[in-house]
């Protein structure tokens, strides 16, 4: 379950809004122990096989994880205003698992500017593989669990407080995610997730700030016994600047304790920082968005690169 950052602006009684979002994220993360194993293995670039998994699970002590793949998310959200301050929303998402068509670009970029590959140079590109191991429990995927499918739907209710107070507007959102999708292919946790977020927004003539503080309480993760779903809070701060009547630039910082903190005590479980930049363009009756996300500060615990496209429209 993920509560998307949103402004503290009510939809309005009897109005409804439609959102379409697409995000693609390339992710490569390996613990120091697994990276050293890949270095010792050497040879040409090739994917992990059963012998490699056995060597990692039985021959390495401490942190053992490898995440190598690409994730795509197509998201459809519908919002309806029950009153001037209260609205409800339903969100459906399609999640795809892929090997990584951005692998080559990222590899060449790291190589050109002298950034470390963190073990990427020993594995074949365009493969989806995951190892998460803790004590005697492990989640191992030598291939993607599915090409893609619909995840659990998300239902939310949002209340915007009367205001503004000293120029600030405030809202609170609560959500529930019922387990309706397929847990066997990792499209669902297989349990009910609950979440809430607080929203604060301040708008000046050309500048604006939106702050989202979210917390999710997940249930049990039925298919992945390597770790229990964690519940770290997350903070998202977005700054917008209006260049003209129709064009706005956006810079956004997201940070949270990494969701894999229950698996190990390493770079992967430290605070996660991500920096995004993008543009919003008001078209006829709609708003278009384009953004990119890069990891920040700790390059070992966040996705390498992500791109986002959005389309939204308000009907009144």
Is residue 8, in this structure, part of any structural domain at all? no
Question: Between these two residues, 71 and 303, which has the higher pLDDT value?
Answer: 71
Is residue 139, in this structure, part of any structural domain at all? yes
Residue 297, pLDDT > 50, answer yes
Question: pLDDT-derived band of residue 191, with 50, 70 and 90 as boundaries?
Answer: confident
pLDDT in tens, 75-97: 999 999 999 999 999 999 999 99
Q: Which domain holds residue 135?
A: 16-315
- pLDDT above 90: percentage of residues in the chain: 36
Mean pLDDT score across all residues of the chain: 82
Is residue 4, in this structure, part of any structural domain at all? no
Question: pLDDT-derived band of residue 133, with 50, 70 and 90 as boundaries?
Answer: confident
Question: What is the pTM (predicted TM-score) of this model?
Answer: 0.82
Residue 265, pLDDT > 70, answer no
Report how many domains make up the chain: 1
Is residue 30, in this structure, part of any structural domain at all? yes
Question: Between these two residues, 101 and 127, which has the higher pLDDT value?
Answer: 127
Q: Residue 301: give its domain's CATH number.
A: 2.40.160.40
Helix pair 50-59, 32-41: axis angle to 10 deg: 130
Triad 105, 64, 127: Cα angle to 5°: 35
- Cβ–Cβ under 8 Å, residues 195 and 174: yes
Is residue 255, in this structure, part of any structural domain at all? yes
Question: pLDDT-derived band of residue 116, with 50, 70 and 90 as boundaries?
Answer: low
Is residue 11, in this structure, part of any structural domain at all? no
Question: pLDDT-derived band of residue 122, with 50, 70 and 90 as boundaries?
Answer: confident
Residue 17, pLDDT > 50, answer yes
Tokens of 195: 């979440």
Question: pLDDT-derived band of residue 22, with 50, 70 and 90 as boundaries?
Answer: very high
pLDDT for 9? 87
């Amino acid at each position: 379950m993920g509560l998307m950052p949103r402004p503290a602006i009510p939809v309005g009684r009897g109005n409804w809004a439609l959102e379409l979002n697409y995000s693609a994220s390339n992710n490569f993360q390996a613990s120091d122990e697994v990276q050293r194993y890949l270095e010792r293995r050497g040879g040409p670039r090739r994917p992990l096989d059963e012998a490699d998994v056995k060597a990692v699970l039985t021959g390495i002590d401490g942190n053992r994880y490898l995440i190598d793949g690409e994730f795509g998310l197509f998201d459809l959200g519908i919002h309806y205003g029950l009153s001037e301050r209260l609205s409800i929303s339903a969100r459906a998402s399609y999640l795809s698992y892929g090997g990584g068509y951005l692998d080559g670009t990222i590899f060449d970029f790291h190589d050109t500017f002298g950034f470390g590959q963190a073990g990427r140079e020993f594995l074949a590109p365009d493969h989806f593989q995951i190892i998460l191991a803790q004590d005697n429990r492990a989640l191992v995927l030598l291939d993607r669990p599915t090409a893609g499918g619909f995840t659990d739907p998300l239902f939310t209710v949002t209340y915007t407080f009367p205001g503004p107070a000293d120029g600030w507007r405030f809202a609170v959102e609560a959500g529930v995610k019922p387990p309706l999708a397929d847990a066997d292919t990792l499209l669902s946790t297989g349990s009910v997730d609950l979440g809430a977020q607080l929203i604060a927004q301040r708008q000046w003539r050309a500048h604006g700030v939106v702050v989202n503080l979210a917390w999710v309480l997940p249930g049990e993760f039925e298919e992945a016994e390597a770790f229990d779903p964690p519940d770290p809070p997350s903070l998202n701060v977005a700054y917008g600047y209006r260049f003209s009547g129709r064009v706005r630039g956006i810079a956004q910082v997201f940070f949270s304790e990494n969701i894999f903190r229950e698996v190990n005590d390493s770079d992967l479980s430290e605070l996660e920082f991500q920096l995004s930049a993008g543009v919003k363009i008001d078209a006829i009756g709609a708003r278009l968005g384009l953004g990119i996300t890069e990891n920040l500060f700790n390059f070992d615990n966040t996705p390498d690169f992500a791109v986002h496209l959005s389309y939204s429209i308000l009907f009144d």
